[in-house]
Structure 1
Amino acid sequence: MKEFFQMMRRFISPYKKYVIGAVGLNLLSAVFNVFSFSLLIPILNILFKTGDSEKVYHFMEWGSGELKDVAVNNFYYYVSQLIDKFGPSTTLLWLGLFLAGMTLLKTACYFGSTAIMIPLRTGVVRDIRIMVYSKVMYLPLSFLSDERKGDIIARMSGDVGEIENSITSSLDMLLKNPILIISYFATLIVTSWQLTLFTIIVLPGMGWIMGRVGRQLKRQSLDAQNKWSETMSQLEETLGGMRIIKAFIAEEKMINRFVKCSNEYRSATNRVAMRQSLAHPMSEFLGTVLIVLVLWFGGSLILSANSTINASTFIFYMVILYSIINPLKDFSKASYNIPKGLASMERVDKILKAPNNIVERTDAEHISEMKEGLEFRNISFSYGTHEVLHDVSLKVRKGQTIALVGQSGSGKSTLVDLVPRFHDVQAGEILIDGKNIKDLVVKDLRGLIGNVNQEAILFNDSFFNNIAFGVDNATMEQVVAAAKIANAHDFIMESEKGYDTNIGDRGCRLSGGQRQRISIARAILKNPAILILDEATSALDTESERLVQEALERLMKTRTTIAIAHRLSTIKNADCIYVLYEGRIVESGRHEELLQKNGYYKRLNDMQAL
């Protein structure tokens, strides 16, 4: 429960007024409930002529004795006055109507306490989901590369849903039931302290049995949620790789993998559900055992010579005791549900509490333009223990175009990812106009940079919104102008709704060249000072490459450009070409200079010529 209350403190603050309202209404509900049950005693006395029927009650001044004795005496005084005036039958009717009125007030307060908790429950779940999404937005790419997308989706859907089902649904139980239990126990003590003492002695043993049954539930729930994540990851991989699956006739293989994941999830869920379903019958049985024991002990008291309780009061005591069973059962149900939710919260917290090593200094400087250029000074970087870049140094003057070439895995993409601080260098520094990029505001830094990647990353939205992505208040004229420069305007206008046409999931309705030209138009509209081209044309056919290359040449004018390329023909005119091999710069110079060196670049050029 300690973990639960720690979690609630994190998320409950904006909803304190709902909690206060729920506590107040539950308190009123408990008071009305006790008063309505207290009417059972005079009703039973009138019906069965039990109690001290010969006794004459006189009104006692409030404060003239113990509150309990004065209240009971005066209550019986008013009942006896009603009997004398209207007769037993009419008095019974009045008491019944009063009981119905009390019950109406009790149920109205109960409904109010439940209704007032609904905005809290839905609000907490919404807040958690938004917090997870926002956290994912600001986490470094290294976190996302270490985690499976399906697992992150599972945590935002299945785990957050489990938090709603098991924890927030238990909130009203945890607010209502302690109030009811305390109210009922206080009534039991006032009615007969001997019977209550006996109940308190018996109750902890039953609580220990319930706790022992539910102890492993959190661990089993965590295992079930992990299996759910595996299932979601399998589904995400399948949808993303459907073309390859069909091409390699691997449908049956993937189905078998999914069936295995689903069976493992089912088995884990069965174990959790089995243990959870044990809560109700066990609490029902233990509650009945408690009633039987108290019935035996109370009966023994009544039958003894010096009885401190009469039959009607004992029946009232048993009604109150039985009424306390339901809150106790709900409490035990909550104690079963909460561990399931805490297991999900543990998985969600892996995202919420994930460290973000891209830290912005409190005194970071703003930057709006690059005046001189960009410099990599003695850069080294590793993924874990694997060193990707070693002591790399190079300079790019403003307006200059440089190219990075080399075999796959030589560190080219990693080097350009360091500029917008997708990762931070472990040694050395990157400077813009002589200022370390770690000393700059991250938003301003990334505002200077435009990316065109090998895989055009588009969104399931219109042409207009994809081109205007990240640019606030872009006009149609600006978007059209950017599309024309990117050689994209013609095929956009040929589509069904022009710039308002939806391009499908990841641009699936477009060809590779069209997708790339949309991403170039997006970079043109952003108008960045530094342009990073990461294999922008390597996946295109000759005609598409020509159109895209034309668009890139227009985009590169007056901009500082870093181009990664495998096709050396696309970077022949670069101001300087840097050749990377196993994380080090082994050659640099213009295209003709590197050919004359007869080194690594010359071998790459000859292989492509062949």
Structure 2
Amino acid sequence: MKEFFQLMRRFVSPYKRYVMAAVVLNILSAIFNVFSFSLLIPILNILFKTGDPDKVYSFMEWGSGDIKDVAVNNFYYYASRMIEVFGTSTTLLWLGLFLAGMTLLKTACYFGSSAVMIPLRTGVVRDIRIMVYSKVMHLPLSFLSDERKGDIIARMSGDVSEIENSITSSLDMLLKNPILIISYFATLIITSWQLTLFTIVVLPVMGWIMGRVGRKLKRKSLAAQNKWSETMSQLEETLGGMRIIKAFIAEDKMISRFVKCSNEFRDATNRVAMRQSLAHPMSEFLGTVLIVLVLWFGGSLILSDASPIDAPTFIFYMVILYSIINPLKDFSKAGYSIPKGLASMERVDKILKTENPIKERPDAEHITEMKEGLEFRHISFSYGTHEVLHDISLSIQKGETIALVGQSGSGKSTLVDLVPRFHDVQKGEILIDGKNIKDLAVKDLRSLIGNVNQEAILFNDSFYNNITFGVDNATMEEVVAAAKVANAHEFIMESEEGYDTNIGDRGCKLSGGQRQRISIARAILKNPAILILDEATSALDTESERLVQEALERLMKTRTTIAIAHRLSTIKNADRIYVLYEGRIVECGKHEELLQKNGYYKRLNDMQAL
């Protein structure tokens, strides 16, 4: 329960007023409940004539004696007066109506206490989901490469839903039931301390039995949620790779993998559900055992010569005792539900508590433009123990275009990812206008940089919203101008709704060249000082490449550009070409100079020419 209360402190604080309202309403509900049950004693006395017919009750001043004795005496006084005035039958009717009125007040308070908890429950779940989404947004790209996207989706969907079903749903029970239990126990003690002492001795034994059964539930729930993540990851991979699956006729193989995942998830869920479904019958059985034991003990007291309790009072005691069993059963349900939710919260916390290694200094310097240039100074970088870059040094003056070439895995993409701090430099430093990028505000740094990648990353939205993505307050004229520079305006206007046309999931309604030109238009509209082109034309056909290359050349004219290219024909006019091999710069120069060196670049050029 310690973990549960820590969770409540984290997420329930903004909703304290709902908690306070629920507590007040639950207290009122408990008071009305006890008073409504207390009417059973005079009703039973009247029905079965168990009271002393010769006893005459007189009114006692409040505070003139023990409050219990005074309250009981005065209640019987008023009841006897009503019998004298209205008769037994009418008095019984009035007591019944009073019982119904108290029950109405009790149920109204009960409804109110549940109703005020609904905004809390939904609010906590919304807050957790937003926190997870925001955390994922701010974590570096290395986190997304280490984690499976399907697993992250499972934590935001299945785990957060489990938190709602298990923990927030138990909040109402955990607020209401202690109040009911305390009020009922107080009533039991006032009614008969002997019977209550016996009950207190028996109850802990039953609670211990319930705890033994529920102790392993969190571990089983954690295993079940992990299986759910595997299932979601399998689904995400299938949807993303459907073209390859069909091309290699691997449908049956993927189905068998999914069936295996689903069966494992089902088995894990069955184990959790079996243990959880044991809560109700076990609490029902133990409650009945408790009632039987108290019935035996109370019956023995009544049948003894000097009984401390009469029969109607004993029946009232049993009603209250039976009423306390329901809150105790709800506690046992919460004891089974909460571990499931805590297991899910543990998985969600793996995201929420992940430390972001990309840290911004409190006194970070703000920058709005690049005046001189960009410099890489003795850069080294590793993924784990694998060194990707080793002692890289190069500089780019403002307005220059440099190109990075080399075999796959030589570190080209990693090098450019260090500029916007998608990863942080481990050795050396990157400077803009002589200032270390770690000393700059991350938002300002990234606002200077525009990216056009090999895979055009677009969103399931309109042309207009994709081009203006990340650019606030762009006018339609500016969007059209950017699209014209990117050779995209013509095909946009040929679509059904022009710039308002939806392009489908990841731009699936467009060709590869069209997608790339939309991403170039997006970069043009951003108007960055530094432009990073990561193999922007390598996946295109000849005609699309020509159109995209024209758009890129217009984009590069007034910008500092870093171009990664496998097709050497696209970077012949670069101011300098850096050749990387196994994380090191092995050659540097213009296209013609590098050909004359007859080195690694010449071999790459010859292979492409061949």
Q: What is the TM-score of this pair, normalised by structure 1?
A: 1.00
Deviation at 1:51, TM superposition (A): 2.7
- Report matched runs for 1:539-558 at 5 Å: 539-558=539-558
Give 1:273's aligned residue.
273
CA distance in 2, matches of 1:477, 1:218: 58
Give 1:559's aligned residue.
559
Give 1:493's aligned residue.
493
Indicate the SS of the match to 1:537. coil
Q: Which runs of 5+ in 1 are unaligned?
A: none
Give 1:307's aligned residue.
307
Deviation at 1:56, TM superposition (A): 1.0
- Report matched runs for 1:283-298 at 5 Å: 283-298=283-298
CA contact (8 A) 1:51 1:310 kept: no
**Residue 349 in 1 paired to residue 349 in 2?**
yes
Indicate the SS of the match to 1:532. strand
Give 1:506's aligned residue.
506
CA distance in 1, matches of 2:52, 2:487: 102
CA distance in 2, matches of 1:51, 1:62: 23
Give 1:438's aligned residue.
438
Structure 2 counterpart of 1:302, which letter? I
**Residue 56 in 1 paired to residue 74 in 2?**
no
CA distance in 1, matches of 2:343, 2:141: 26
Equivalenced residue count is 610
CA distance in 1, matches of 2:80, 2:62: 18
- Report matched runs for 1:464-483 at 5 Å: 464-483=464-483
Deviation at 1:55, TM superposition (A): 1.3
Structure 2 counterpart of 1:167, which letter? I
Deviation at 1:572, TM superposition (A): 0.5
Q: Which runs of 5+ in 2 are unaligned?
A: none
Deviation at 1:75, TM superposition (A): 0.8
Query: 1:155-208, CA deviations, whole angstroms, 9 ceiling, x for partnerless residues?
Result: 000000000001111110000000000000000000000000000000001001
- Report matched runs for 1:86-105 at 5 Å: 86-105=86-105
Indicate the SS of the match to 1:329. helix
CA contact (8 A) 1:114 1:172 kept: yes
Deviation at 1:439, TM superposition (A): 0.3
Deviation at 1:489, TM superposition (A): 0.5
**Residue 377 in 1 paired to residue 350 in 2?**
no
CA contact (8 A) 1:374 1:396 kept: yes
Deviation at 1:85, TM superposition (A): 1.1
CA contact (8 A) 1:463 1:500 kept: yes
Query: 1:583-608, CA deviations, whole angstroms, 9 ceiling, x for partnerless residues?
Result: 11111011111111111111101111
CA contact (8 A) 1:400 1:561 kept: yes
Indicate the SS of the match to 1:305. coil
CA distance in 2, matches of 1:63, 1:108: 31
Structure 2 counterpart of 1:227, which letter? K
- Report matched runs for 1:142-157 at 5 Å: 142-157=142-157
Deviation at 1:84, TM superposition (A): 1.1
Give 1:422's aligned residue.
422
CA distance in 2, matches of 1:33, 1:70: 20
Indicate the SS of the match to 1:116. helix
Structure 1 counterpart of 2:283, which letter? S
Structure 1 counterpart of 2:404, which letter? L
Structure 2 counterpart of 1:351, which letter? I
Q: Which moved more, 1:19-28 or 1:78-87?
A: 78-87
CA contact (8 A) 1:291 1:322 kept: yes
CA contact (8 A) 1:51 1:312 kept: no
Give 1:116's aligned residue.
116
CA distance in 2, matches of 1:419, 1:288: 70
Q: Which moved more, 1:557-566 or 1:83-92?
A: 83-92
CA distance in 1, matches of 2:240, 2:164: 30
Give 2:180's aligned residue.
180
Give 2:395's aligned residue.
395
Query: 1:30-85, CA deviations, whole angstroms, 9 ceiling, x for partnerless residues?
Result: 00000000000000000001132321111111111111111111111111111111
Give 2:245's aligned residue.
245
CA distance in 2, matches of 1:561, 1:270: 57
Structure 2 counterpart of 1:223, which letter? A
CA distance in 2, matches of 1:600, 1:51: 111
Give 1:229's aligned residue.
229
CA distance in 2, matches of 1:483, 1:308: 93
CA distance in 1, matches of 2:65, 2:185: 23
**Residue 584 in 1 paired to residue 602 in 2?**
no
Deviation at 1:86, TM superposition (A): 1.1
CA distance in 2, matches of 1:378, 1:306: 96
Indicate the SS of the match to 1:337. helix
Structure 2 counterpart of 1:401, which letter? T
CA distance in 2, matches of 1:134, 1:65: 63
Structure 2 counterpart of 1:328, which letter? L
Structure 2 counterpart of 1:312, which letter? P
CA distance in 1, matches of 2:54, 2:308: 18
Deviation at 1:124, TM superposition (A): 0.4
Give 2:81's aligned residue.
81
Indicate the SS of the match to 2:270. helix
Indicate the SS of the match to 1:471. coil
CA distance in 2, matches of 1:95, 1:574: 98
Query: 1:474-516, CA deviations, whole angstroms, 9 ceiling, x for partnerless residues?
Result: 1111111000000001111111111000000000000000000
Give 2:569's aligned residue.
569
CA distance in 1, matches of 2:147, 2:114: 39
CA distance in 1, matches of 2:475, 2:283: 66
CA distance in 1, matches of 2:78, 2:48: 19
Deviation at 1:88, TM superposition (A): 1.0
Query: 1:198-223, CA deviations, whole angstroms, 9 ceiling, x for partnerless residues?
Result: 00000001001100000110000000
Structure 2 counterpart of 1:166, which letter? S
The alignment-based identity, stated in percent, is: 89
Give 1:522's aligned residue.
522
Q: What is the TM-score of this pair, normalised by structure 2?
A: 1.00
Give 1:457's aligned residue.
457
Deviation at 1:280, TM superposition (A): 0.2
CA distance in 2, matches of 1:106, 1:51: 29
CA distance in 1, matches of 2:62, 2:238: 78
Indicate the SS of the match to 1:117. helix
Query: 1:291-341, CA deviations, whole angstroms, 9 ceiling, x for partnerless residues?
Result: 000000000000011110000000000000000000000110011000000
Give 2:199's aligned residue.
199
